């Protein structure tokens, strides 16, 4: 995995993530900052973001990735746990931390909510990046200004911005529980992520796993990279990161529901960083 971490870091540095930071930090404040103005500027920017549209005439094609996770609990149990886990500000999903607006951070997600999914560099990658920063800035590398600089990298190059478009926690009988969000401007991709949870009625499938009940979580990721450089990065590893995050979300939700994963289409190699 060290080689993959180096690839991620290399893309950040090679894509010009560092060069414009001295200009960008002021406009890309962090939600976890100790400075209220930083938090407010971040919130204002997120509230102003609008959904990106898929462009079928682009040179970059629109793609779909579909993954499934079969678990040994009922759909209602898994859906309730999934909603709770996804809304928990203390949770991390692989490299993702979800930042929510102050007015919505203390309650479960609702349709219309906006958020930032912030890819955080793992400790080893952070150490390597900090090595560069120490070389460039000396002792200042540990100061507040460089913390803002790192946040600017995350805001501009390793974050998705989303808005909940559909949230159905009370579906009609036989219909799935659904959470769908779309990507907002500032994200490196356009498209949507949809999570649908439904009860399994296939008697043969239940018997094969020796269970009397089960639920299926299906995740449909429709996406289009917004630049050629990000398309190259996503092809070489970004989609793997996405699947790792989906597996983490499913795994934590199943654990919260008191169940276990029976099988999944996500390869074992893509289940952890």
The DSSP bridge partners found for residue 254 are none
d(CA 178, CA 171): 8
Residue 158 vs residue 243, higher pLDDT: 243
Does residue 41 form part of some domain?
Answer: no
Polymer length in residues for the chain: 273
Does residue 133 form part of some domain?
Answer: no
Q: Is pTM beyond 0.85 here? A: no
Beta-sheet strands, E only, within the chain = 63-71, 92-93, 96-100, 114-119, 159-168, 177-183, 189-199, 215-225, 261-264
Does residue 214 form part of some domain?
Answer: yes
Does residue 243 form part of some domain?
Answer: yes
Does residue 69 form part of some domain?
Answer: yes
CATH number at residue 229: 3.30.530.20
> What's the average model confidence in pLDDT over 159-171?
94
Number of domains in the chain: 1
pLDDT digits 0-9 by tens, 34-48: 677 778 888 999 999
Does residue 156 carry a pLDDT above 80?
A: no
Q: Which of 149, 133, 126 is nearest to 30 (CA)?
A: 149
What pLDDT, on the 0 to 100 scale, is given for residue 2? 45
Does residue 181 form part of some domain?
Answer: yes
Q: Find all residues with CB under 8 Å of 256, minimum gap 6, and list them.
A: 81, 84, 85
Identify the domain containing residue 221 by its residue range: 57-118+160-270
């Amino acid at each position: 995995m060290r080689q993959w971490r180096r690839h991620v870091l290399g893309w950040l540095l090679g894509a010009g993530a560092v060069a414009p930071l001295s200009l960008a930090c002021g406009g890309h404040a962090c939600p976890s900052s100790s400075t209220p103005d930083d938090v407010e500027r971040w919130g204002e920017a997120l509230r102003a973001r609008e959904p990106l549209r898929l462009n079928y005439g682009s040179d970059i094609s629109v793609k779909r990735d579909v993954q499934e996770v079969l678990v040994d609990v009922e759909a209602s149990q898994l859906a309730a746990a999934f909603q709770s886990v996804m809304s928990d500000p203390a949770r991390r999903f692989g490299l993702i931390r979800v930042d929510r607006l102050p007015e919505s951070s203390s309650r479960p997600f609702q349709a219309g909510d906006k958020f930032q999914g912030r890819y955080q560099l793992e400790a080893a990658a952070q150490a390597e990046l900090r090595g560069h920063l120490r070389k460039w800035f000396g002792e200042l590398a540990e100061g507040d200004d460089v913390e803002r600089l790192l946040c600017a990298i995350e805001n501009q190059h390793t974050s998705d911005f989303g808005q909940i478009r559909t949230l159905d926690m009370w579906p009609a009988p036989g219909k799935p529980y659904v959470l769908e969000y779309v990507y907002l401007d500032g994200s490196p991709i356009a498209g949507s992520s949809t999570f649908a949870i439904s009860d399994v009625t296939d008697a043969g499938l239940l018997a094969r796993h020796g269970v009397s009940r089960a639920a299926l979580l299906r995740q449909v990721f429709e996406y289009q990279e917004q630049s050629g450089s990000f398309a190259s990065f996503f092809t070489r590893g970004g989609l793997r990161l996405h699947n790792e995050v989906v597996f983490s979300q499913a795994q934590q939700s199943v654990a919260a529901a008191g169940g276990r994963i029976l099988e999944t289409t996500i390869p074992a190699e893509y289940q952890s960083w």
